Amino acid sequence: MAVRVDLLISLDGFATTTDRTPDNPFGSDWSRLVAAYVGTRTFRERVLGDTSGEGTTGVDDRYARDYFEGVGAEIMGAGMFGLHDYPNDPNWRGWWGDEPPFRCPVFVLTHQSRPPLTMAGGTRFSFISAAPIDALAQATAVANGKDVRIGGGPTVVRDYLKAGLVDRLHVAIAPILLGRGVRLWDDLRGLEAGYAARSEVAESGTIHLTFSR
Amino acid sequence: MAVRVDLLISLDGFATTTDRTPDNPFGSDWSRLVAAYVGTRTFRERVLGDTSGEGTTGVDDRYARDYFEGVGAEIMGAGMFGLHDYPNDPNWRGWWGDEPPFRCPVFVLTHQSRPPLTMAGGTRFSFISAAPIDALAQATAVANGKDVRIGGGPTVVRDYLKAGLVDRLHVAIAPILLGRGVRLWDDLRGLEAGYAARSEVAESGTIHLTFSR
C-alpha cells in the first residue's frame, strides 16, 4: 500500500488555472493543461465512457492507465469536489457527474458537515474535517490494502508532501506557462531528499516526472 | 544568426541559489544545480582545461557541446560577471578566471563605467549601460553572423524573453527543489506561443527543454 499523488502542472509549476468566466466555466488554460491526458484512450474510456477505441496509446496513456489502477481510496480538497462553486447548495453532488471515475471511497476535506453521497460505479463521497494524517488513516482503513491517492488540489497535495506522507509523486508537466494560479512546488525546498526521481517525455511533449521512495 | 539562452534551473524554476556563505562561497545548492553539466566531458575540457577524457558523454554532454558552439557574442548581467561581489574594486576581473570560457566579445550590462577587459583565449568584456534591444544590436554587430547568447542571470534572460528577442531557449532542469531564489519563469505567461517545445531526459535525470522558433 502506498500513498500516491498524480497531478497535472504547467512548466512554471501551476496546478490551477485562473481564466474561468461565466461564459467559459473551465477556462481555456485548463484545456491546454489537461489536453494530453484527456486525449488518451484510457481517459476517453474511463471518464467519458467512450468505447470507440479512439485516443492516444503512447506514454501519456500508460500513465493514464496507471492512474486508474490500484487505488483503494482517495482524499481530495473541497475545491476539487466542487464545494467552493456551490457552497450553500445541499443538493449539489460535485462536478464529477453521476458516475465519477474514482470508483472507491473518496474523503472530501471540508469543515462543512454534509451527509455522504453514494454514486453509481462505486464512488462514495464522505465529507470529513480532519488533519492530513487522520484523513489518511481513515482512507487507509477502507482501501483494502490498495493505494490511497491524494487527489488534489495542489494545496492539499502540498500539505501531504510537507508532512512526509507521500510515497509516490507523479506530475505530468505540460510545456506551457500559465504565469499565475496555485503553485504545486511552493515551500517544498529539499523535497527530493529521500526520493528517487525518474522522468520521461511523452509524444505529446508532456514531461512525466515521478518521485518514488 | 539566432539569439540563444541556455540556463540551468531547478524543478521549481529557480536559476539562482541562496545558500552562499563566507565559508562556502558557492553554496551546496549550486553544486547540485550544475552537477550534471560540470560532470560532462565537454565542461571538463572547455572550462577546466582537463584533457584527460574523463566526464560523461551522453545527452548532457551533447547539450554542453552545443552550448559552446556557434556563439559569436554574449550578453550577461553584472551579477553573472561578478560585479555585485566586488562592486568597488576596479581591479576585479570577474570570477571567470584568466581564460574565461566564452572566447568571444561579452557585453556586461551595468550602470558602472569600466574600461573593457581583454582576457586570454579570446574573451573581451565590455561594460555597457543599454536597454536589452540596444545591447543586442551591439552584440550582433560583432558576432560575425554567429549566434548571440543571453548568458544570464535569470532577470536579464527574462527581460529578453519578455521583449520577444529570444529565438531559442534551452533550460536544463535538475530534479531538485530549491524553494527560494530568483525564478526564471515569473511573469512569462503565454511564452510558449510562437515557439515549438521539445524535451528529452538525460541519463543524469536532467530534463532538457528547448523552446525554438
**What is the reported pLDDT for B184?**
98
Average pLDDT of chain A to the nearest whole number: 95
Task: State how many domains chain B has.
Answer: 1
The CATH number that applies at residue A112 is 3.40.430.10
Closest CA to B76 of B127, B120, B11, B9: B127
Rg (CA), chain B: 17
d(CA A185, CA A177) in angstroms, rounded, equals 15
- Best A157, A185, A186, A206 member to test B by mutation, with max B CBs in 10 Å, is A185
C-alpha cell at B212: 525554438
A-to-B residue pairs, Cβ atoms closer than 8 angstroms: 75
Asked if the Cβ–Cβ distance from A185 to B13 is below 8 Å, we say: yes
- Best B192, B198, B208, B209 member to test A by mutation, with max A CBs in 10 Å, is B192
Place A175 in a pLDDT band, splitting at 50, 70 and 90. Answer: very high
**What is the reported pLDDT for B85?**
81
For residue B118, list its beta bridge partners. B124
d(CA A66, CA A61) in angstroms, rounded, equals 8
C-alpha cell at A91: 443538493
Among candidates A179, A199, A205 on the partner chain, residue whose Cβ is nearest the Cβ of B201: A199
The 10 Å Cβ neighbour count of residue A37 is 23
**Which residue does chain A place closest to B28, by CA atoms?**
A190
**What is the reported pLDDT for A23?**
80
Q: How far apart are the first and last CA of chain B?
A: 12
| Amino acid residing at B86 | Y
**What is the reported pLDDT for B185?**
97
**Which residue does chain A place closest to B12, by CA atoms?**
A185
Complex ipTM value: 0.93
**What is the reported pLDDT for A6?**
97
The Cα-based distances of B14 to A17, A30, B114, B200 in angstroms read: 21, 24, 30, 20
**What is the reported pLDDT for B159?**
97
Whether residue A144 is predicted with pLDDT greater than 80 in this model: the reply is: yes
Asked if the Cβ–Cβ distance from A207 to B205 is below 8 Å, we say: no
Domain limits for position B204: 3-212
C-alpha cell at B140: 550582433
Whether residue A14 is predicted with pLDDT greater than 80 in this model: the reply is: yes
Asked if the Cβ–Cβ distance from B209 to A13 is below 8 Å, we say: no
d(CA B192, CA B19) in angstroms, rounded, equals 31
Q: Is B188 in the A-facing interface, judged by CB distances under 8 Å?
A: yes
Whether residue A26 is predicted with pLDDT greater than 80 in this model: the reply is: no
pLDDT digit string, tens, across residues B175-210: 999 999 999 999 999 999 999 999 999 999 999 999
According to DSSP, the β-strands at A207-212 and A196-201 are: antiparallel
For residue A208, list its beta bridge partners. A172, A200
Among candidates A179, A191, A198 on the partner chain, residue whose Cβ is nearest the Cβ of B188: A179
Rounded to a whole number of angstroms, the distance from the CA of A105 to the nearest CA of chain B is 32
**What is the reported pLDDT for B126?**
97
pLDDT digit string, tens, across residues A44-90: 998 888 999 999 999 999 999 999 899 999 999 999 999 888 878 88
**What is the reported pLDDT for B27?**
82
Which of B 2-31 lie inside 8 A of A, CB atoms? 11-13
Rg (CA), chain A: 17
